[in-house]
Amino acid sequence: MIRVGVNGYGTIGKRVADAVAAQPDMELVGVAKTRPNFEAEAALRRGYDLYAAIPERADAFTDAGVETAGALSDMLEAVDVVVDCCPSGIGAENQPMYEAHDVKAIYQGGEDAEIAEASFNARGSFETARGDDHVRVVSCNTTGLSRVLAPLEETYGIEKVRATLVRRGGDPAQSDRGPINDIIPDPVEVPSHHGPDVNTIFPDVDIDTLGLTVPATHMHTHSLNVTLETEPDREAVIDLLAGENRTFLIPEAAGIDGAGKLKEYAMDAGRPRGDLWENCIWERSVNLSGRDLYLFQNVHQEADVVPENVDAIRAMCTELPAEESIARTNEALGVGLDSLLADGGEGERLTADD
Ligand code: NAD
């Protein structure tokens, strides 16, 4: 069993903890938190050992009647790998502590790429993290782009990628980032920093990205144009993308027109927290003009990196082949939406309007 700790139990940390706890070959030793708030309560309800991330604040847990299993240093002594899910920049501050405890560490996309030996996406760069001590799982947007670009590059070759990323203003619980009423070029510099981040996974792909932020909370929307090196037909590209195991091709018959209905779909499917771990690609949007491929996809920023963190753990701690790790993660979590409407012929089996 790989012993795993999670430091930082917010949006990403709580999801990674649940995903680790669900794996047959991993043991969640515990989670570290700075405060005994509602999320600490959620961890306790799930039966997770709670560790005080900041020693000076340990008394706050006792005062709130929350029992801890010790300090963060105790958790670090008990694990093979820690998944740092702290806010952007805190991971870099934590790195010397992880090194002092001689523990492998995974960082999130808010950290600079230089923090780690490898940037990770299971589909795009699994082997680059093999046996590494410090790995960064790339951001939600880079994860979403990597999952589409990997099969396109392998199958058709990529001449040039142009992507416009319409990004949610904040996560649903981030009241400090809203409300807003605007559409903001973000960053206003073009091309944006997202393309170079994709190059940490695919160094040779020529990609330009543009970013916007809009007053939404559920998901990001990507408008993608990929100039391929060959000219496949549309059906072949749809089959290729549908054949990937972390993509969901949204059939037209589903009547899903945006992030709101996608989240409803996930909740109707019984997904924890309404999470969508897959890239959600509108099948109707997939089109070719010569060698230019176009599509719209949505990525759930709170969820898509979660299975990637699980696979990063196996890349760092085991010899398991990438495909087997991905399959094991998907099986344990239930990744892989497959609409009953996918072939367009069985609409009566869904009661989406009820
Ligand atoms: P968050 O604010 O929801 O959670 C971070 C948690 O860490 C909070 O509970 C906070 O109290 C805690 N924390 C703060 N300082 C700490 C410390 N010193 N030690 C331990 N815990 C500490 O943030 P998040 O959205 O989960 O983001 C975490 C990381 O994941 C960031 O690098 C972010 O860029 C990245 N990421 C976020 C998203 C997203 O959309 N939320 C998507 C992909 C990647």
- Kindly report, residue by residue over 227-247, the tens digit of the pLDDT: 999 999 999 999 999 999 999
Mutate which of 18, 54, 85, 197 for ligand 1 pocket (most atoms within 8 A of beta carbon): 85
Residue 302 has pLDDT above 50, yes or no: yes
pLDDT band at 346 (very low <50, low <70, confident <90, very high): very low
For the segment 195-205, the average pLDDT, to the nearest whole number, is: 98
DSSP state of 25: T
Catalytic entry in 85, 86, 140, 317: 140
Ligand 1 midpoint to CA 149 (Å): 27
Summarised one tens digit per residue, pLDDT across range 67-110 is 999 999 999 999 999 999 999 999 999 999 999 999 999 999 99
Q: Note whether 30 and 69 are within 8 A (CB).
A: yes
Instruction: Determine whether the shortest distance from the Cβ of 143 to ligand 1 is under 6 A.
Output: no
Mean pLDDT of 165-181: 91
**Pocket-testing residue among 33, 48, 86, ligand 1, by greatest number of atoms within 8 A of Cβ:** 86
Q: Would you say residue 354 has pLDDT above 50?
A: no
Rounded distance from Cα 214 to ligand 1 centre (Å): 21
Predicted pLDDT of residue 14: 98
Q: What per-residue confidence (pLDDT) applies to 179?
A: 78
Decide if 317 is catalytic.
Answer: no
- Grade residue 349 by pLDDT with cuts at 50, 70 and 90: very low
| pLDDT classification of 343: cutoffs 50, 70, 90 | low
pLDDT band of 54, cuts 50, 70, 90? very high
Whether 57 has a pLDDT exceeding 60, the answer reads: yes
CA of 254 to the centre of ligand 1 (A): 34
| CA nearest ligand 1 atom 23, residue | 87
- For ligand 1, is residue 137 a contact (CB within 6 Å)? no
Nearest Cα residue to atom 34 of ligand 1: 110
Per-residue pLDDT at 130: 98
> Exposure pattern of 73-112 as b/e (b: 16+ CB <10 Å)?
ebbbebbbbbbbbbeeebbbebbebbeebebbbbbbbbbe
Residue 174 alpha carbon, nearest atom of ligand 1: 3
∠341-344-347 over CA atoms, to 5°? Answer: 55
Spatial distance between the Cα atoms of 288 and 273, rounded to a whole number of angstroms: 35
Does the pLDDT at position 194 exceed 50?
Answer: yes
Task: Quote the CA–CA distance of 179 and 172 in Å, as a whole number.
Answer: 11
pLDDT tens digits for range 262-298: 999 999 999 999 999 999 999 999 999 999 999 999 9
**pLDDT digit string (tens) for 119-136?**
999 999 999 999 999 999
- Is the shortest distance between the CB of 301 and ligand 1 below 6 Å? yes
Ligand 1, residue 173: give the atom nearest the CA: 3
Does ligand 1 come within 6 angstroms of the Cβ of 309? no
9 C-beta closer than 6 A to ligand 1:
yes
Least Cα distance to 350 among 213, 257, 248, 256 occurs for 256
Bridge partners, residue 280, by sequence: 248, 298
What is the CA angle 187-189-191, rounded to 5? 100
Residues 6+ apart with CB under 8 A from 132: 104, 116, 117, 118, 315, 316
- Closest Cα to atom 30 of ligand 1: 108
> How remote is the CA of residue 309 from the centroid of ligand 1, in Å?
14
Peptide bond into 36 cis (omega under 30): no
Q: Regarding beta strands 220-228 and 292-299, do their DSSP bridges make them parallel or antiparallel, or are they unpaired?
A: antiparallel
Q: Can you tell me the mean pLDDT for 34-63?
A: 95
* pLDDT class of 342 with cuts at 50, 70, 90: low
Q: Which atom of ligand 1 lies nearest, measured to the CA of 168?
A: 40
Q: Is the Cβ atom of 86 under 6 angstroms away from ligand 1?
A: yes
The pLDDT mean for the chain works out to 95
Nearest CA to ligand 1 atom 33: 110
With a cut of 60, say whether residue 299 has pLDDT above it: yes
> What is the reported pLDDT for 210?
98
Q: Is the CB of 89 under 6 A from ligand 1?
A: no
6, 7, 12, 54, best to mutate for ligand 1 pocket (most atoms within 8 Å of CB): 12
- Tokens representing residue 66 in the block: 């929350």
Cβ of 53 below 6 Å from ligand 1: yes
Answer whether 4's CB lies under 8 Å from 20's CB: yes
Residues 6+ apart with CB under 8 A from 158: 149, 152, 205, 206, 226, 227, 228, 229
- pTM for the full model? 0.96
